[in-house]
């Protein structure tokens, strides 16, 4: 049976000492925020040379940042400096036709990494 007892509490979280049977194990549990989740919403289609917006919504415990990979070799990043939530829009313009996979990967200091993808079909403008 494992039981965690608080060692100290701070504004940003709590540290715990875990007792597992006869042995002691140190562990860390952060009580703030939520489990890491990421949502990415983008258009299904777009045109060459048209600026497109992709919406993101990320929540976690202590977000380090988000990396956006646009599928055409372009990478964009956003620092979140320990925030618990981040949301907004990122813009991108494609130079040629094709199917592009846009990927957003969020890193959280407590929860690890999560990612989401959308596929956009870029067509030639008329």
Residues 23 and 43 in one domain: no
> Does position 125 have pLDDT exceeding 70, yes or no?
yes
Q: Contact 63/80 with Cβ under 8 angstroms?
A: yes
Q: Contact 71/113 with Cβ under 8 angstroms?
A: no
Residues 12 and 69 in one domain: no
Residues 10 and 24 in one domain: yes
Burial class (CB in 10 A: 0-12, 13-18, 19+), 62: buried
**Based on the structure, what is the number of domains in the chain?**
2
Which pTM does this prediction carry?
Answer: 0.74
Pairwise CA distance, residues 97 & 123, whole Å: 5
Residues 78 and 21 in one domain: no
> Does position 16 have pLDDT exceeding 50, yes or no?
no
Q: What is the reported pLDDT for 24? A: 38
Check which CATH number belongs to the domain holding 116 and give it. 2.60.40.10
Domain hosting 20: range is 1-31
Q: What is the reported pLDDT for 31? A: 60
Q: What is the pLDDT of residues 24-45, one digit of tens each?
A: 333 445 467 899 999 999 999 9
Residues 17 and 42 in one domain: no
Q: What is the pLDDT of residues 65-120, one digit of tens each?
A: 999 999 999 999 999 999 999 999 999 999 999 999 999 999 999 999 999 999 99
Residues 48 and 82 in one domain: yes
Residues 109 and 60 in one domain: yes
Q: What is the reported pLDDT for 33? A: 83
> Does position 17 have pLDDT exceeding 60, yes or no?
no
Residues 54 and 91 in one domain: yes
Residues 47 and 93 in one domain: yes
Q: Contact 43/120 with Cβ under 8 angstroms?
A: yes
Residues 6+ away with beta carbon under 8 Å from 22: none
Q: Contact 16/29 with Cβ under 8 angstroms?
A: yes
């Amino acid at each position: 049976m494992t039981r965690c007892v608080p060692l100290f509490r701070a504004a940003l979280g709590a540290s715990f000492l875990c007792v597992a049977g006869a042995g002691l194990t140190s562990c860390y549990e952060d009580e703030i925020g939520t489990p890491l989740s990421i949502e990415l919403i983008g258009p299904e289609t777009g045109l060459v040379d048209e600026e497109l917006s992709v919406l993101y919504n990320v929540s976690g415990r202590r977000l380090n940042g988000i990396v956006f990979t646009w599928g055409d070799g372009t990478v964009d990043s956003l620092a979140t400096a320990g925030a618990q939530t981040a949301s907004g829009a990122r813009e991108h313009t494609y130079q040629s036709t094709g199917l592009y996979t846009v990927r957003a990967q969020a890193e959280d200091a407590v929860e690890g990494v999560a990612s989401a993808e959308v596929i956009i079909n870029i067509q030639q403008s008329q």
